[in-house]
Structure formats: C-alpha cells, structure tokens
Amino acid sequence: MEQDISMIEVNILAPTRLCKLFLPDFIKRGHGKVLNVSSTAATMPGPLQAVYYATKSYVTSWSNALWRELKGTGVTVTALMPGAMKTGFANAGGLSDTKLFANAVDPYKVAQDGYNGMMKGKLNVTLGLPGWQTPMIKLAPLFHKKAMLNFVYDQQIAGSAKK
C-alpha cells in the first residue's frame, strides 16, 4: 500500500501541484513549456503494475487536456511517453528479467527527443520502443481487452525474458 501511495504522490500529485503552481505565471507572461513524463504504459491497463500504468494514464490524459486548455496562451504541455528504458526502474520494480525490459533503450536519446518535442509544442512524444513495440502501441486500443491484458501480463511476469 505505501509503495502505491508513494507512486501516486510522485506520478500524479507532484506534477499536478507543480503545474498549478507555475502555469499561472507562464500564462501571464505569454509563453512557457511543460514536459510531463508519462509512459507508453498509459495506453493500456497493466496487470502486475496496475497503479503505475494508471498513474501514467492520468499524466497523459491530464497533459493532453491542459494542452488544449492552454491553446492560444503561448504555453504548451507535452507528454513524454517512452517505452522501457535502461534505468533503475526495472530493478526497483522486479522487472529486470521480463520480456518488457529485455530490449530496454538508452534514456539519453529518449530525454533529448522528448525535449525537442516539447520545444516544438508537440502533444505527445512516444519513443524508445524497439522493433515490434512501435506498431503494437499504436494498435493497442484496437485489440480485444482481455487478450491485451493477457499479453501485458505475459510481458511483465518474472522470468519471462528467458521464455
């Protein structure tokens, strides 16, 4: 429970508070850019990481809504939606030996591309996906929900990288 509450505080409460704090000044001066870190996890439910996936869904949905609300103010909001990256996240979450992290990418390029997308005022920047994951993310909303849940579960189950 505490780990889930902490994740909600970091992934939802912190960016919400920061935006509520700084956006009025951005709007007042007529320019500003916000880059919220979401994830490709935002595009589907995530068994075995349900709270993480749900918090990232919030970040993307909320960022997209803010982008529209701020249209015409000179302020943009971009959601960075990377795939699995080589950070401490996999180890901390017990995911290092999963299919999901078997092809994790270098976070430096993801960060650079996210920054560039924010500077251009893009709505969402989805990147850092190896091979088959790129079309999968785009097609995810079309898949049968139970089949998608089973697929995500299989990608995240411990030891799946060896299967």
Q: What is the pLDDT of residue 91?
A: 55
Low-confidence ranges of the chain (pLDDT < 70): 84-105, 130-134, 156-163
φ, ψ (nearest 5 deg) of residue 78: -120, 135
Q: Which residue of the set 52, 53, 58, 153 is catalytic?
A: 52
**DSSP letter (8 states) at residue 85:** B
Which pTM does this prediction carry? 0.80
Q: Where are the beta strands (DSSP E) in 1-134?
A: 32-37, 75-82, 124-127
Residue listed under structure tokens 């929900």: 145
Q: What is the pLDDT of residue 108?
A: 87
User: Is 52 a residue of the active site?
Assistant: yes
